[in-house]
Structure 1
């Protein structure tokens, strides 16, 4: 197809503003699916997406639409809305020339609306504002249009009003896409350059690579080369998503589709790579993508040690499908062999864990999550740490730096005081307040990332009765008075329970942690001491008393010496158990560290 009849665009918005529903309607109106096939969240094919009602993976789809006697091919990408999956959005924008910015007709411009709009502006895309949910019984359309103009700086007169649920205004939306979004550039006769923007593993067909053709033409059967990994393959099948995988004979400039080569080695294909022809190779690869920075880490260990290799294979396949996830092997005295996994945020971590347990059927023990820290040692060396167990002795540390995030809240003006108090309690540094209307305000703070990731979003929703939203961006590391909090169980250091905390909250966190552990660790036949320590100083202690058996139950009446003899015998046995007994720590105990952080 000629490039002038192709339009590539992303659908971007805040969470729950109707991106996936609009995508479903575009498929229906173009005839890509029939009314019988139509269902809500058609493109959200992961179980976890359907259960939670959110998009986790961006999905690319090609549809044909007849307009003024010409057939146009519209390639669109339905993107996630949550801040943890912003990397998916940025990758999608790099493969497009335009974007539909969807705004809820009642909620208006929210934190992620602003973040996604700025990302599209930075990518130099043509942005079409779309006000969705105009069929709601209560709307604020005029105020929302004003917000689009004042907050984001887009011309609100060009905004299209639609109801994705009722199918109202969808044709106007498609017409605006054809008229306003520029056609892709690219010479079909030039050497092939195709950007790998995603991939997944199919157990029967191997790695399925998703590409956007930038220059040249890719044909079925071509001998292709991945420029970064230097692997050479045959394009056994090429095709497009309509919305299911549909084979075709060729892909030209501006088109997005997939390549199946039969490659079974997951590591030979990476997101951001450039695909070219082996015979007539392109001179330079495409710029690709900036590597995502994982900010939240946790340990993942198989419950059954025999599943270690299975877990490694599944993590490799997961990292192929999700380039923002990383893992390296690690060992723990308490948990055995496992992996240290990196994520973009807490929701990202929960999604990966659920997918591993459901899709791969691997039983996991997950340690409490923590953020990445930066240490400046007295030797002058600067090191990054993602595991609290690796923190060296305090005598070697000159500066202990924690990641700082710039947080933007959009909330009702009546809740400003409560949110400012919440930020102050979490060591936040106030930046500014802007009023977006008579009853809405934008509040900016700089906060330690560790104080945000656990439950900041939940607390914000609670304070603002669901009307507050937040977006954050990590801006760097800052020196702070941090200490390593060790947890000892029966005198033994449990590395998997170690955490980094601010000195001002260390005693409270220590007490809360050992208290939670006491509730989760079952009684043994000997006394178990739980201690929280900073260096050599114990700051909190709880004791789990021994499980007692009534050994004198069979003695009734008679001389007291018989009872004393039995009790002494029991005491000796308990002493021996205490010396050699091993404490069993259940999975819930490792996550109780997180609960203790929330309580604190």
Structure 2
């Protein structure tokens, strides 16, 4: 065990984690030149297209140190975007050390700080690395000062590297061996392993990834999942190279996989403890924090018959992404579907893309909203994740909405723009401090509702991309939240309902009605689009009917003859309106998401 090192790479999005991981694998000959490509650990097409890491990936590296000894390094590459911080927390739970990567051209950013605090909470050994030192705009001394101020290390502790050019890679590998402690644990004790990930393989069932803290796992052992209390036989165990590499046994300190032929997704829970049936561990491992979804949206199949197939796909997707939560939901407009909880808007977009690409499911996504807490006049507390769960105004005593603490790091010249944006989103400025002369940290308390839609995009455009943003929840606070319904000819379309702050409701309603007027096709009858809060109509648009020229056959003649025909047509349209159905195209549901464009 003294020759094993478990570490991960943490950084802000786009600071070069995946590129550095590529160089570490290449310089240790873990993968051959033929297998080498950019972002080699990112195996989803989506990750390559967007240039981001979505899932943590583990791989074992064999490294020969300058002291002549062979070491086994288990690397877990982590995502950088704030929406995937749950993946980071899982990776940290399986490691003893972390490479803190900072881009020499951008310096320390919001996600760098929040990931660093996560690592410190897990008592990891931190190795600071400045990446991209070969770029023209590299500010090496300035970034060194920022790191020293942040973690209080000595200047000689900071490693300089370039993932793209392969500079400083040997120094990083040597530092991993010298500074990160070897894992502690007793190979003879009862088996105690932490499950940190799982993937679904259509031929072999569910493959579970774990980190063994104590004990030894052999092929053919009968294993038990403590939380779900299910028992299976270990058909295959092994370690994670670029592909799965079978072994006879996996010992304490190792990161490995197990295949048991499990087919049911509900039986594997990420964060669970894996032990042996005949000699179980007396205590469960304290897993990572429970996932807290921030944004809720409904996902419905386009064809109602595809519901069962969608349910299977959601099960398989949840295996691969433990931060996705969902429950059944029915909607009058869209039929059966799921109410899903996501960690943020990017997470929601990725899930939708993955359903379409990996499972060929075309889905309709409803308006995203956050979870509120309501108190009825009887004093009952209810959780409101969906506009349809909101009680009538007469029965509702008060409503509380989730607040977040937002941390924005930017250049001083953009402070004004950020202030205007955040205060306009009902934000409260808590603190403003200069990290260096060219970096300002602004801390706001803001309602989650306001940042769900387009806050991140607006922040980027207001600061020309020079602001980094990170947030964490700080609880619920009382707020004046109302339910806004959209009516088409007096009928509510529940999929377009939204929970919104009263001050913003009228403006939002007006925009939504205008957008729907553009998107709905004209029918044979007039359509009234209304936005209502309770019984009060706050906005209205009218789509006029398609009119057939019934007077065409009257050549000249008396006007009363034409009037009579037009009146007759009017009666018919009135009748048609009472029984007619308004078709709502899928674009209408998506349009709500892009209202402020």
For this structure pair, what is the TM-score category when the shorter chain's length is used for normalisation? over 0.9
Instruction: Give the Å deviation of 1:557.
Output: 3.9
From 44, 47, 50, the counterpart of 2:48: 50
Question: 2:57: which partner in 1?
Answer: 59
Equivalences for residues 584-595 of structure 1 within 5 A: 584-595=583-594
**Stretches of structure 2 lacking an aligned partner (at least 5 in a row):** none
User: In the TM superposition, what whole-angstrom CA distance separates every residue of 1:217-249 from its partner, at most 9, and x where no partner exists?
Assistant: 111111111111111111101122212111111
User: In the TM superposition, what whole-angstrom CA distance separates every residue of 1:253-295 from its partner, at most 9, and x where no partner exists?
Assistant: 1111110001111111111111111111111121122211111
Instruction: Give the Å deviation of 1:554.
Output: 4.5
Question: 1:377: which partner in 2?
Answer: 376
Secondary structure of 1:310's aligned partner: helix
Report if the CA contact (8 A) 1:201-1:320 is conserved: yes
Q: Normalized against structure 1, the TM-score is what? A: 0.97
| 1:423 and 2:387 aligned | no
Instruction: Give the Å deviation of 1:572.
Output: 2.6
Distance 2:126 2:154 in 1: 10
Secondary structure of 1:576's aligned partner: helix
Question: 1:346: which partner in 2?
Answer: 345
Distance 2:499 2:45 in 1: 35
Equivalences for residues 101-250 of structure 1 within 5 A: 101-250=100-249
User: In the TM superposition, what whole-angstrom CA distance separates every residue of 1:305-328 from its partner, at most 9, and x where no partner exists?
Assistant: 110000000001111111111111
User: In the TM superposition, what whole-angstrom CA distance separates every residue of 1:17-51 from its partner, at most 9, and x where no partner exists?
Assistant: 00000111111111111223211111111111111
Instruction: Give the Å deviation of 1:558.
Output: 4.7
Instruction: Give the Å deviation of 1:426.
Output: 0.7
Secondary structure of 1:370's aligned partner: coil
Distance 1:556 1:49 in 2: 68
Between 317-326 and 53-62, the greater mean CA deviation after superposition: 317-326
| 1:291 and 2:295 aligned | no
Secondary structure of 1:283's aligned partner: coil
Secondary structure of 1:553's aligned partner: helix
User: In the TM superposition, what whole-angstrom CA distance separates every residue of 1:395-444 from its partner, at most 9, and x where no partner exists?
Assistant: 22222111100001100011111111111111111111111112211011
Distance 1:26 1:489 in 2: 59
Between 61-70 and 103-112, the greater mean CA deviation after superposition: 61-70
User: In the TM superposition, what whole-angstrom CA distance separates every residue of 1:308-353 from its partner, at most 9, and x where no partner exists?
Assistant: 0000000011111111111111111111111111101000000000
Report if the CA contact (8 A) 1:114-1:152 is conserved: no
Equivalences for residues 436-515 of structure 1 within 5 A: 436-515=435-514
Report if the CA contact (8 A) 1:200-1:321 is conserved: yes
Distance 2:326 2:455 in 1: 26
Distance 1:457 1:146 in 2: 28
Distance 1:229 1:496 in 2: 35
Q: Normalized against structure 2, the TM-score is what? A: 0.98
Instruction: Give the Å deviation of 1:522.
Output: 1.2
Distance 1:118 1:263 in 2: 36
Report if the CA contact (8 A) 1:91-1:289 is conserved: yes
User: In the TM superposition, what whole-angstrom CA distance separates every residue of 1:66-98 from its partner, at most 9, and x where no partner exists?
Assistant: 112211000010000000000100110010000
* RMSD of equivalent CA atoms: 1.3
Instruction: Give the Å deviation of 1:454.
Output: 1.4
Distance 1:551 1:19 in 2: 70
Distance 1:580 1:152 in 2: 69
Distance 2:257 2:34 in 1: 27
User: In the TM superposition, what whole-angstrom CA distance separates every residue of 1:92-132 from its partner, at most 9, and x where no partner exists?
Assistant: 00100000000001100000000001110111100000100
Instruction: Give the Å deviation of 1:567.
Output: 2.6
Distance 1:346 1:152 in 2: 31
Distance 1:299 1:195 in 2: 32
Instruction: Give the Å deviation of 1:483.
Output: 1.2
Secondary structure of 2:573's aligned partner: helix
Distance 2:137 2:497 in 1: 50
Distance 1:151 1:573 in 2: 74
Secondary structure of 2:2's aligned partner: helix
Secondary structure of 1:510's aligned partner: helix
Distance 1:554 1:411 in 2: 71
User: In the TM superposition, what whole-angstrom CA distance separates every residue of 1:468-498 from its partner, at most 9, and x where no partner exists?
Assistant: 1110011000001221111111101111111
Measured at CA, do residues 400 and 154 of structure 1 come closer, stay the same or move farther in structure 2, by a change above 3 Å? farther
Instruction: Give the Å deviation of 1:6.
Output: 0.3
Instruction: Give the Å deviation of 1:565.
Output: 4.5
Report if the CA contact (8 A) 1:524-1:546 is conserved: yes
Report if the CA contact (8 A) 1:151-1:436 is conserved: no
Report if the CA contact (8 A) 1:129-1:156 is conserved: no
Question: 2:400: which partner in 1?
Answer: 401
Distance 1:513 1:22 in 2: 46
Question: 2:264: which partner in 1?
Answer: 265
Equivalences for residues 281-320 of structure 1 within 5 A: 281-320=280-319
Instruction: Give the Å deviation of 1:556.
Output: 3.7
Question: 2:29: which partner in 1?
Answer: 31
Question: 2:19: which partner in 1?
Answer: 21
Instruction: Give the Å deviation of 1:296.
Output: 0.4
Distance 2:135 2:158 in 1: 18
Distance 1:569 1:337 in 2: 41
Distance 1:115 1:40 in 2: 27
Instruction: Give the Å deviation of 1:184.
Output: 0.1
Secondary structure of 1:436's aligned partner: strand
Secondary structure of 2:591's aligned partner: helix
Instruction: Give the Å deviation of 1:367.
Output: 0.5
Distance 1:364 1:53 in 2: 25
Secondary structure of 2:394's aligned partner: helix
Distance 2:415 2:567 in 1: 65
Question: 2:545: which partner in 1?
Answer: 546
Secondary structure of 2:431's aligned partner: strand
Equivalences for residues 565-584 of structure 1 within 5 A: 565-584=564-583
Instruction: Give the Å deviation of 1:560.
Output: 4.6
